[in-house]
Structures are given as C-alpha cells and as structure tokens.
Chains A and B, each alone.
Chain A
Amino acid sequence: MGPLLETKLHVPRRHRGLVARPRLLERLDRGTEAALTLVSAPAGFGKTTVLTDWLTSVAAGQRSVAWLSLDQRDNDPAVFWTYLVAALRTAAPEVGAGALALLQSPRASTEAVLATLVNDLSALPDDVVLVLDDYHVVDAPEVQDGMSFLVEHLPAQVHLVAAGRADPALPLARLRARGDLVELRAADLRFTADEAAAYLTVAMGLALTAEDVATLEQRTEGWIAALQLAALSMQGRDDVPGFIAGFAGDDRYVVDFLVEEVLQRQPGHVRTFLLQTSVLSRLTGPLCDAVTGQDGGKAMLEALDRANLFLVPLDGRRRWYRYHHLFADVLRMRLQDERPDVVCGLHRRATEWYERSGDRAEAVHHALAGGDTARAADLVELALPALQKGRQEATMRRWLEALPDEVIRVRPVLSVGYAAALMVSGQVEGVEARLRDAEQWLTATPDRGHDPPAPATEMVVADDAGFHRLPSAISMYRAGQALLSGNVAGTVAHARRALDLAGAEDHLGRGGAAGLLGLAHWSSGDLDTGHRWYADAATSLEKAGHVSDVTGCAIALADIRVGQGRLGEAMTTYERALQLVTPDTGPVLRGAADMHVGIAGVHTEHGDLDAARRHLAASRDLGEHLGLPQNPYRWRVVMARIREAEGDVAAALGLLEEAQRRYVGDYFPEVRPVPALRARVLARHGRWADALAWAQERGLSVDDDPDYLREFEHLTLARALAARSAAEGRARSVSGAVRLLDRLLRAAEEGGRTGSVIDVLVVQAISEQARGDLPAALAALRRALALAEPRGHVRVFTDEGPRVGTLLRAVAAEGAAAGYARRLMAALGNGEDGAPVAEHLVDPLSARELDVLRLLGSDLDGPDIARQLFVSVNTVRTHTKNIYAKLGVTNRRAAVRRGEELDLMPRYRDHPGRAAVSDR
C-alpha cells in the first residue's frame, strides 16, 4: 500500500466555543477501567469533539493516546491493520514491529498478526488509549472479526474507544455483562438546556433570552450540529427574534433549513467554493484550486476555518481539512440538485490532481464517482502490481466490482488480475471464466493493433509490461488452480507451459512456475524431481530479489530431503539458508526463526535433544516477527517430539493440540499432518483405541492403495493396529496391516523415499513381532538399521519404546550392526530412565488443561484466567469441565486438591500461559 496518510493518525485540533461537559468526561474516565468505550450516536452529536476534549483534559504523562480516523478505504484488512498498528506506534513506538512484518507476508492470518500485537501490548508499562473515530465506515467482516478477537484479548493497560454512527459488530452484550463496556449514546451527548444556554450565550456570545434558548433547544432537540448552524445564522444578524420565530415555525429538516440560512449569508464566491469542493473527502489548497479552476484555495480554507464554517482540520499545520460530514452531505445534495451538469467535471479534475500527486486510491475513487470508468479502469490496471504485492486483495476486489463487467472483459490485464484476486481469496469459481476472457484477446491478436475477429469492441491495455507477461501468467494461475484441486498432471502441464512462455528475464514468473512443478512432483511422491524443480525455483527467486522467499524454499527442500532420508543434506540446507538471513552486518531477515526450528527437527531425529532444545530457544528468542506464519505450529511439533522423548507424554500431546490450533497451511503437501502425529503418540503410549478412532474418522483402511499424501497416515494406522495386537495378544488382527506395509514399502522404494522406507521397516518389525514372527521382525529391523546407520537416524527407532528395545538386543547379540544397535539401546534407556512419571491418570490432562488447573489454584476468576491464557471465557469453561471430569471432581477446590495430590501443580508455577517445562 502507498505511504500512510499522517492526517488519519492526528488527534483533531480542539475547536473554539466548547462547552464544558464534565458529566461526559467523567464517564469517559471510567471507561479506562473497561476494555471498550463505545461512543455511538448519529452525525453531529459532538462525538469527535467530546473525545478530543477528554484527551486534552487528561494530565500529560498519565497515559499515551493513539488516534485513528477511519474512512471507506479501511475496509481492507491489510489497510486497516496497518493503520491501526501505525496509530498505536505513535503512542508506543516499541510495539507492532512484528505485526507490521507479518502484514507484509502472504498467507499470514489476521489472528497471527493480532496475537503478535497483543503480545507486544501486554508488555507495555503504561496505559494506552486507542481511539477509532468514524468506526461505522468499517463493515468488512474480516476486519470486524479481527476487531472482536482484539477486544477479547486486549491486555488490561490498553483501552479501546470506538466512535461512530452505528453500533459495531463487536461482542457488546458479552462485554456489557462482564462490565467491560462503557457507553456514551445520543441521549447522553445531546446538549441539555443548560449546555445549550452556555453554548449560545457564553461561547458564541449571542444576546438571547431564556425563552429564545428554550425555543432553539426544543426545535433542535439538543442536536449539537443544528445548534452550531443556528448560532452561525444568528451571528451578526439584526433580527434574531425574527430568525428564531421563522426557524421554530418551519418544519423542514433542521440541517437543510439552517444550511440554507448559512449559505444565503455567504458572498457568491464563497458559496460556489463550498458547493464545488463538497465533492472532496479531504481538502487542501492546491487540490481546491485544481477542482475550482481558481486561485486562492489555501486562503479560502483558512478563512472558512476562522469563520468556523464546519471545517475540521486534519493536521496541525493547517494543510489538510475536511468538511463536517453532515454539512458536506447537504452541500453535495445541493450541488447535485442545482448544478448536476458540473459534478462530473469536478470529479475529473480531482482525479487528475490525485493522479499527479501519486495518490492512486483517491484518483480511482473520484474517477468512479465521476462516472469515468475508462480512466478508473486504467488506474486500477496500473495499480495492480502494487496492490498484489501489498496483499490488498479486498481493495482490488472492491475496485474491480465497481467497474462494469464489459469494461473489465475488454482488458486482459484486468481480467487476469480479477482471476488472481478471486484465487487469493479462495474463490475458485469464476477464475477460469476471467482467464478465458483474457485469453481470447491473446489468441485473436498475437500482436496488438489488429481487430479481433469475434468481439466487436477493441481490446484495451494500460499496463504493457503486464500484458506481455499474460500468456505465462494465465498458465501459472491454471497450474495453481489444478494444484488446489489435487490435479497433479494438470499442474505439471500448465506449469511447464507457464515456464515455456515466461521471458528469460521474468525471474519471478520462472520461479513461480518452477515452484509449482516442484510442488506437483513432491505431492505425487517423486521426491528427486520435486527437489530439482524446487532448487530451480529458489535460484530464480533469488535472482528476482526475493531473498525472503529463500527461507520458504529451504523448508520445502529440507522437508524433501527428510523424506529421502538424507538428514545430513536437510541440515546443510537449513544451515545455508540461516547464514543467508542472518548476515554478519545488517538486520536478521524473516524466516531465520524457521531455520532454527528446522535444524532442531533434524537434531531431534539424530537424538541430540540438547542441541534441538538450544535451537528451539534460539527460534523463540528471535521472536514471531522473524518467523513465517507456519513457524508457531512447526515449533510446537518439534517441541512435542522432544517432550515425548523425555517421557512427558501429556506435555507432548498438549503441544500437538496447540500446534493443531495454530496450524497455518501453505502450498506444501501436508506430508506429516499434525493430527496423525498426535495419533502416533497416542498409539505408542497405550491409547491405541483413540488412535484407531482417529484413523476411522480419517476414513483410513488397511485395504487402501498407497498414496504418498496418505503415507504418513497409513503408517500411523499400522502402528495403532500393531499396538492393539500386542496389547490384546491377537496375532490375526495385524495381518491386514502387514499387507498394507508391504504395499507402502514398494511405493516408497519406487519413489526413492528412503526416509519413508526406514519408517515402514520399523513398523513392519513391530507388527511382525506382535504377531509372533520374530525372524521376520528381526529381518525388517536389520534392513532398517542398515539403511539408517549411515544417515544417523535415532528417534525413528527409539520412539517405539521397549518393544523395539527387545528387538535391538536380539540384533546386537547377532553381531550385525551391533555398535549402532547398542547406541540406540543406550538412547532408549536414557529416555526411559529419566522420564518423570507425569501422572497416574487414565486420561491425562493436556498441557492447556494443566495451565488452566494451575490458574484455578490462584485467586484469578474465570475472565482473568481467560485473559492470561489469551483464550475466551467459554474455552476456559470447556477446559474446566474436562479437568473436573478427568480428575473425578465437581468443584474448583477439589480439583486443586486432587491436582496437588497428583503432583500436577508446582511443576507449572513458573510458566504461565505456556506448555510446561519440567526441570531436570
């Protein structure tokens, strides 16, 4: 998005002629005890004035103030959150760097952005008040959902004030019920009789009788804007009683009547200026000159400001103003009524001025308002690359939807842009039709200028460079669509075409196409080819200057290496990328945190848990803003493996549940789904019934055909079946699994996936063991050991626990791979011996439930616990119910007592809100 408009972050200057309103200020003061203050009333009720009055009344240093004046353009989440964070940073410069970084990245969820922001805010030493003025203009559901999340998770030192003409879509009833909402409404804001008298006679200096004041107060019903207009009309008038009588006797819309009175008393050139400039949402001298075709706009604005003619200054330097909304509406209506012929011309000149000054968004707004769709379409087309880069898909959609369809259809660049906007917002429908609209121009006119045979109209192109990229771009979007629908062959065909059509210098296009080819092959289990294409993609993206994408590529490349069983190369890939994003001089780049998590994952598999823990700590120390959106869940997945290796199964399960909640998808195939990881832990620790329930839910069966994307799940199913068979002593029940494993083994060998082959062999070994075929079990294990020894795998064996231990002893006794087997046995022994016996519960508490239980032992009440854990009160309630059920108690005190008996309480004392870490 373009540069931020500072005027939106500026606290409007206090106006003259204010009436002291202590009752309102007191209530606003009370509001800082609550999360949200709502100032909700129609236009002209003095909402902004009472807020600025309140802010200046507060002693300096007591709290910092952030202000944001909203407008229509903020209905785009990318725009809204950027401004909101920028506003907060005017009050607290130390917050929001991470949130802003996340806002720049594709596919970061709003929740991730806000969680980072809330984290920063909760560390603030002093109180901050954030005022959102004109909040009613924000109606985009994505923004409203985000605001609800923010309000629910707001740290105690941050207070939100929302002022607007309609009640916002926030959880008001809930906030009201728990005393977290303070409201100022129309009934509170209206001038009382005393305030009206003070305003008219003292502040405005009008000589009025008590009866006059009463008449005016009744006629306007305390509506402040109307009283202001009435005061303006009376200033300098000889026959004030006559005016009041006329006003009282007229039943016209108050504002209409009064604006007419005010306008009548202005000289002709002032009237004309007011009407002509009413089409502008913001005013500055040169812009007014351009629109009116006259000089002296700046002086005119200053004169209007002095005369208090409903100008609101937008900055402290008297450069930008706007008309009071109500006044502007009446002016605009009059312009439309009196001079409908000039309206388009005024908008055209405003468009030109904004185009010259580089504000494309305002230029588009005026072009659309003036009905100049061709110019608007040109502007939108030229703005597309910047909008796409800035993730302003909502703005893109809004503009494209405002343009008539026939205008878009003759513009291939816009049509493809529309397809892209639809795809990004997950709307597959309509994409292909837009691509075809564009394509018909390309096929009909290989070079521009020739009339296409079919359509009667001419093609229009504003962005020539964009036009030349279209053939490749269209194929690329088709490839992306094919990938989304799981059509690997289609993805490959379209991506290859995109690559063929991309110019040699179009590194971004080439990188994108190569990446899609890599993904397609990886998804189909052909890891070698997938790796090759992905490496190409990384090179092209680096050439295109997208260094930040290199870390994303590294994750893909290393993940593929892990699938191939080439742990050493996976490690090298991560380490190289880490070097690239942590230069000796200059700032650490985004993705560094992810590289540490990747390295930790490889160390874990090698059995070097200390090194893994160090890298996880390093990742956390870098902070969320240096991680990709997927890092929070990936971090937890690796930590869960470490916890399981330590024997803390409850913590591992809790971490995996958290990972599931924080899961953010990317384009990568989900080769190790989190729910399957959780089912594996369950299967290995006696809860094979739960693991089998998961498998049934996933529709998994031992009769399925091998499919790379389900390989990990199938191996998990086989583990659960082996565990059941071992527990029940029923050999027969595992024979289906053995047949499935045979098929999986062949598929993995054919795809060159040695990592998978080792995994399959290990499960084969424990399955054969379960059905009593010891020689077959040992044969499988020997093969696995032979493959794994040079690569240094550890956890794939030791995770299976004592059952594998028995087999390892047998292998070691034979002498084959004896050294390696003994090393694994040692690792297995360490993990077992040192493991704390976490609990004696049949159904252990999750890490989150343990957190809640610990807080139940404190003095905090439900809402406080929710706030501390960044969850809703309902979630805490659910956790509490589960805790009671698992502990077999019915109240809080009994739960805490039982928790102490089970030694669940003290271990969690130092880590509020985080999965527990046991000290050993």
Chain B
Amino acid sequence: MTSHTTGRSSDSSRYEIRLGGHLEPRWAAWFDGMTLTHADDGSTVLTGSALDQAALHGVLSKVRDLGLPLLAVAQLDP
C-alpha cells in the first residue's frame, strides 16, 4: 500500500482493517463509506481515512456484529 497524508486533524488517521472472507463492495455504505478491496489471499481490506478512535471502534463493532473474522487492524500513516 502506498501511504499519503490525509491532511485531517491529528486525532484522525487512515486505517486498514483486514477481514476473513470476501465482502462485496456494496457494503461500503454500511461501513460509512470505507473502501472495500479484495486481496488475493481471500481476505477483504477495508480502508478508511480520517477515522478517529471512536469511529474506528464503531467500525470494529459492525465487523463483530456481522460475525466476520477480524484478521488485522493497522494505522497507515501515523
């Protein structure tokens, strides 16, 4: 992944959330407009910019509620 700055406030960051299984792109709106991409290993990567901690936890609880295996969470450009 290439990294680039978002220019948002310092509280917010770009995050990448990796899930087990393929989630279709139309779930993007459900995850508040995060981008969904499919990785070759069969996982799905959610990418969102300008997420603060509260928003990040909101996304994670949505992941939990769908019963999707959570593989990794990474901050992209701290």
Query: A369 to chain B: closest CB distance in Å?
Result: 14
Query: Contact at B67–A340, with CB atoms within 8 Å?
Result: no
Q: Residues of B with Cβ closer than 8 Å to A?
A: 21-24, 26-27, 29-30, 42, 64-68
- Confirm or deny: A165 has a beta carbon within 8 angstroms of a beta carbon on chain B: yes
Q: Which A residues form the contact surface with B (CB < 8 A)? A: 42-45, 136, 165-166, 223, 225, 251-256, 325-326, 329, 332-333, 336-337, 340
Please pick, from A136, A165, A252, A332, the residue contacting B24 in the complex, using a CB distance under 8 A: A252
Q: Are A326 and B67 in contact (CB under 8 A)?
A: yes
Q: Is B22 a contact of A44 with CB atoms below 8 Å?
A: no
Q: Given A333-B30, A336-B30, A337-B29, decide whether A251 and B67 contact each other with a Cβ distance below 8 A.
A: no
Answer whether A325 and B65 are a contact pair too, CB < 8 Å, given A251-B42, A336-B30, A337-B29.
yes
Assembled-state Cα–Cα distance A252/B25 (Å): 11
Chain A residues contacting B66 (CB-CB under 8 Å) are 43, 253, 255, 326, 329
Q: Which residues of B contact A332 (CB under 8 A)?
A: 30
In the bound assembly, the distance between CA atoms of A166 and B23 in angstroms comes to 22
B21 touches A43 (CB 8 A): no
Complex interface: chain B residues within 8 A of A251 (CB)? 21-22, 42
Indicate whether A253 sits within 8 Å of B29 (C-beta atoms), given known contacts A43-B65, A43-B67, A166-B64.
Answer: no
User: From residue B39, how far is it (CB to closest CB) to chain A in Å?
Assistant: 12
CB distance from A506 to the nearest CB of B (A): 41
Beyond A43-B64, A43-B66, A165-B65, 7 additional contacts (C-beta under 8 Å) are A136-B64, A223-B67, A252-B24, A256-B23, A333-B30, A337-B26, A337-B27
Please measure, in the bound complex, the distance between the C-alpha atom of A337 and the C-alpha atom of B22, giving whole angstroms: 17
Across the interface, name the chain B residue whose C-beta is closest to A250. Answer: B22
How many whole Å from B19's CB to the nearest CB in chain A? Answer: 9
Question: B24 and A225: CB pair below 8 A?
Answer: no
A-B contact count (CB 8 A): 52
Q: Which residues on A sit within 8 Å (CB–CB) of B22?
A: 251-253
| Residue pair B67, A225 in contact (C-beta under 8 Å) | yes
* Most central of B21, B26, B67 by chain A CB within 10 Å: B67
Known contacts A253-B22, A253-B24; is A42 also within 8 Å of B64 by CB? yes
Residues on A with beta carbons closer than 8 Å to the beta carbon of B27: 256, 333, 337
Residue numbers in B under 8 Å from A165 (CB-CB): 64-65
Q: How far is the CA of A615 from the CA of B65 in the complex (A)?
A: 56
Question: Are A254's CB and B26's CB within 8 A?
Answer: no
In the bound complex, residues from chain A placing their C-beta under 8 Å from that of B65 are 43, 165, 325-326, 329
Do residues A256 and B29 form an inter-chain contact, with CB atoms below 8 A?
no
Q: How far is the CA of A45 from the CA of B67 in the complex (A)?
A: 9
Q: How far is the CB of A803 from chain B (nearest CB, A)?
A: 64
Residue of A nearest to B23 (CB): A253
Q: Are A253 and B68 in contact (CB under 8 A)?
A: yes
CB distance from B10 to the nearest CB of A (A): 22
Q: How far is the CB of A843 from chain B (nearest CB, A)?
A: 50
A44→B67 contact, CB < 8 A? yes
Q: Which residue of A lies closest to B44 (CB)?
A: A253
For B67, the chain A residues whose CB sits under 8 A away are: 42-45, 223, 225, 255, 326
CA distance A225 to B67 in the complex (A): 10
Partner of B29, one of A43, A254, A329, A336: A336
**CB of B53 to closest CB in A, whole Å:** 14
| Chain A, Cβ-Cβ closest to B63 | A42
Residues of B within 8 A of A333 (CB): 26-27, 29-30
The smallest C-beta distance from B48 to any residue of chain A, in angstroms, reads: 17
Chain A residue with Cβ nearest B68: A253
Query: Can you sample 14 A-B contacts with CB below 8 Å?
Result: A42-B64, A43-B66, A44-B67, A45-B67, A223-B67, A253-B21, A253-B68, A254-B21, A326-B65, A326-B66, A329-B66, A333-B27, A336-B30, A337-B30
Residue with the highest number of chain A CB atoms closer than 10 Å, among B22, B23, B64, B66? B66
6 tightest CB-CB pairs across the interface, nearest first? A42-B67, A333-B30, A337-B26, A43-B67, A253-B23, A251-B22
Instruction: Report the separation of the CA atoms of residues A136 and B42 in the bound assembly, to the nearest whole angstrom.
Output: 29
Smallest distance from the beta carbon of A133 to chain B beta carbons, Å?
15
Which of chain A's residues has its CB closest to B38's CB? A251
Bound Cα distance A333, B36 (Å): 14
B78 to chain A: closest CB distance in Å?
26
Beta-carbon contact of A340 and B68 below 8 Å: no
